[in-house]
Chains A and B, each alone.
Chain A
Amino acid sequence: MISLPLFFYIEHMKKTFPLVFFLLCLASCDRFGNKDTKQENEKRIVCISKQYSEIIFALGAQKDIVAVDISSTYPPEIKKLPTVGYHRALSAEGVLAAKPTLILHDNNIGPEHVVKQLELLKIPMKVFPKGATLDSAKVLIKEIGAYFHKEQEATALCEKLDNDMSRVLEARKSYKDTVKVLVIHYGQANNVFLIMTKKSTAAKMIEWAGGEIAVDDEKGMKQLSAEVIAASNPDVILLTDFGFDKLGSVEKIKELPGIAGTKAAKNNHIFRVEEHDLVYLGPRTGENTLLLQKIIHPGGN
């Protein structure tokens, strides 16, 4: 039946990952054409983790990184590197085309059969310990620092992170109320919103910033209907870069079903945030949380 592929297409759009994949492809088509300027490198590292990528660049250890996944978008110069595509939709040849001597990944790569193919060809792969909490993120920074022989830089990054975080927590003490925040990822598709829940990394940062995520769920991200959005009635709505830019303006966003009636819409508390500032912990997490505080507690209270 003709409707079968169509059905799958819709079904998959709903599943967000292909949506993510295609939007990323479209948004960053130019990145697929990037020239490999490190042809002569003996060590060739492909980094398939946006968190690792940012840390490696922050450490100044990017010399041997020859390609990254397409979600690695910080710092901006990383976009000049060739990319191997979306981390969950890799192709074996696509990764191998970068001639990697090592693949760094955070166990969040796929599809499974491609990982198997890479293992079959005995391509070395390395996974660092998970950095999902502030403490483990610091451990991760130090581990990566140690691996690239940038111990001092790693220590400095951790210190800066600690400093920023203590400023964050200091500021939080002065807030009288907890602001309810809704984070919408990739805007609106098929009339549902992809929402970051209390299980997400963003939730941690919002909490440090003196806020509270509006929606709870077992998964970090959840597709929710306009009704749930309206019922959660957030004080502030944050949209990640892609979704915000797609919709264009705060006015447009305010017209969306579910958002229109919220306190955030009435008070114009709708803001754009960079995705890579919000979805993983890293050296800039403290800085970013300070920025969040400015957004959700604009008066300092």
Chain B
Amino acid sequence: MVTNNHSRSTTFVLLFLLIGVAFISMRYGAVNISLDEIFSSFRKYFTNSDSMSLNERIFMEIRFPRALLCIIVGACLAVGGTLMQALFRNPIVEPGLVGTSSGAAFGAALYFVLGASFKFNAGVWTLPLAACFGAILSTSLVFVLAVSKESGRSSIVKLLLTGIAINAFFMSGVGFLSYIARDPQARSITFWGMGTLSGANWHAVIIVGLINIVCILLALVYSKQLNTLLLGEEEASYIGIDVKQLKLIILSINVVMISSATAFVGIISFVGLIVPHLLRMLHGSDNRILIKHSVLLGAIILSLADTTARLLLSPAELPIGIVTSLIGVPVFISLLRSKNYYF
């Protein structure tokens, strides 16, 4: 197909851009780290890590894992957005729509406020597990409530509306928890809720990275089936898709992806919303192409946003959610108004 070659060249352009952006995000920051130091830190990290200078350690322990986490989380958010938009056939859907983000937020808030009073402790895993628990709770609540009694099926409109309601419910839960929280706890909740990658470390990179590689590969496997949903659920079933099973799989992928990322970096909006939109303008809505490109463009946009967040008020740092909203809202509105994009 002609589009195939065309889309392949886009893949290369995006890949090239990603490498450039990743380089910038690793090269520049509040601390001035030279190229030599970057190279030597790689060399020493594997041979003689004790002899690393402070700058080399800053690069290896803070900046490098942060740049990597940025790429992974950006990819995750964008793919999540693509999956959800295809599943719901709705262009204004974000990964958080079916309650996932707010549930994860609630889980994390619960951990911050009441964590000490629970016996459960899994070390560094406690927070992500708590977020995942909240995300699964809220998402399954949405689905249980959205299933109609008569047909035993859930229509997409019903899901969307239930999602909004459950989101509001869990967000008020977060609000309540942060209200009763004692001061230092409240601080964690607020920081976590705005989204920040400043907590990036190798743990986060490895955990979020592994989970997301598996999820993205799975998403690619199901991308062809996901295409049929563009025609509607009924049509999809006529083309041989087990719609119920497909929905369950896509949603599970989404829940796992989003809650793993949210647990470590908090809620980051708009990336999942605008990336699929921008890409659809390039090559239409074939999810097989869309998902691959989402990985790249999501990573590019989040890396750019994080670099901006770090450098704009350097040495202070903005919460990244503010930057993504700042970039995302105008892009989104201009997309909505653009004439070559139809809903």
B61 touches A117 (CB 8 A): yes
**Separation of A15 and B193 alpha carbons in the complex (Å):** 11
A113 touches B102 (CB 8 A): no
Q: In the complex, what's the smallest C-beta–C-beta distance from A96 to chain B, in angstroms?
A: 5
Q: In the complex, which of the residues B174, B183, B188 contacts A219, with contact meaning CB atoms closer than 8 Å?
A: B183
- Can you list 19 pairs linking A and B with CB atoms under 8 Å apart? A1-B94, A1-B96, A1-B167, A2-B332, A4-B94, A4-B102, A15-B190, A17-B190, A29-B313, A32-B316, A83-B315, A91-B198, A91-B317, A93-B63, A93-B310, A94-B30, A99-B54, A110-B187, A111-B191
Q: Chain A residues in contact with chain B, CB under 8 A?
A: 1-2, 4-5, 7-9, 11-12, 15, 17-18, 25, 29, 32, 67, 70, 82-86, 88-99, 110-114, 117, 120-121, 219
Q: Which residue of B lies closest to A96 (CB)?
A: B31
B313 touches A111 (CB 8 A): no
Question: Chain B's interface: helix, strand, loop or mixed, by majority?
Answer: helix
B267 touches A94 (CB 8 A): no
Q: In the complex, what's the smallest C-beta–C-beta distance from B127 to chain A, in angstroms?
A: 10
A114 touches B315 (CB 8 A): no
- Counting chain B residues whose Cβ lies within 8 A of the other chain, the interface size class is 35 or more
User: Which chain A positions have C-beta within 8 A of B319?
Assistant: 18, 89
B270 touches A91 (CB 8 A): no
B310 touches A91 (CB 8 A): yes
- Known: A5-B321, A97-B315; 17 extra A-B contacts, CB below 8 A, are A4-B171, A9-B322, A9-B325, A11-B178, A15-B178, A15-B190, A91-B317, A92-B58, A93-B310, A96-B30, A97-B30, A99-B31, A110-B187, A110-B188, A111-B198, A111-B199, A121-B58
Q: In the complex, which of the residues A17, A18, A91, A113 contacts B30, with contact meaning CB atoms closer than 8 Å?
A: A91
Which 8 residue pairs spanning A and B have beta carbons closest together?
A85-B316, A94-B315, A113-B199, A91-B317, A97-B30, A5-B269, A93-B30, A97-B315
Q: Which residue of B lies closest to A112 (CB)?
A: B188
A25 touches B183 (CB 8 A): no
B199 touches A93 (CB 8 A): no
- Greatest chain B CB density within 10 A among A8, A70, A219 is at A8
A8 touches B194 (CB 8 A): yes
Q: Which residue of A lies closest to B198 (CB)?
A: A91
Q: In the complex, which of the residues B29, B171, B187, B332 contacts A17, with contact meaning CB atoms closer than 8 Å?
A: B187
A82 touches B315 (CB 8 A): yes
Q: In the complex, what's the smallest C-beta–C-beta distance from B131 to chain A, in angstroms?
A: 15
> If A4-B101, A113-B199 touch, does A84 touch B315 (CB 8 Å cutoff)?
yes
A18 touches B190 (CB 8 A): yes
A97 touches B94 (CB 8 A): no
User: Which chain B positions have C-beta within 8 A of A92?
Assistant: 58, 62, 198
- Greatest chain A CB density within 10 A among B184, B317, B322 is at B317
Q: In the complex, which of the residues B61, B187, B198 contacts A88, with contact meaning CB atoms closer than 8 Å?
A: B187
Q: In the complex, what's the smallest C-beta–C-beta distance from A17 to chain B, in angstroms?
A: 6
Q: Which residue of A lies closest to B181 (CB)?
A: A15
Q: Which residue of A lies closest to B182 (CB)?
A: A219
User: Which chain A positions have C-beta within 8 A of B96?
Assistant: 1, 4
User: Which chain B positions have C-beta within 8 A of A70?
Assistant: 316
Q: Which residue of B lies closest to A110 (CB)?
A: B187
User: Which chain B positions have C-beta within 8 A of A12?
Assistant: 190, 193-194
User: Which chain A positions have C-beta within 8 A of B137?
Assistant: none
**Separation of A32 and B191 alpha carbons in the complex (Å):** 21
User: Which chain B positions have C-beta within 8 A of A114?
Assistant: 198-199
- Greatest chain A CB density within 10 A among B30, B101, B164, B184 is at B30
B57 at the interface (CB under 8 A from A): yes
B187 touches A93 (CB 8 A): no
B62 touches A93 (CB 8 A): yes
**Separation of A18 and B267 alpha carbons in the complex (Å):** 15
Q: In the complex, what's the smallest C-beta–C-beta distance from B64 to chain A, in angstroms?
A: 12
B314 touches A25 (CB 8 A): no
Q: In the complex, which of the residues B163, B174, B191, B332 contacts A110, with contact meaning CB atoms closer than 8 Å?
A: B191
B115 at the interface (CB under 8 A from A): no
**Separation of A23 and B7 alpha carbons in the complex (Å):** 45
**Separation of A82 and B316 alpha carbons in the complex (Å):** 11
- Greatest chain A CB density within 10 A among B183, B186, B191 is at B191
**Separation of A90 and B322 alpha carbons in the complex (Å):** 16
> If A1-B164, A117-B62, A121-B54 touch, does A25 touch B101 (CB 8 Å cutoff)?
no
Q: In the complex, what's the smallest C-beta–C-beta distance from A35 to chain B, in angstroms?
A: 13
- Greatest chain A CB density within 10 A among B184, B196, B313 is at B313
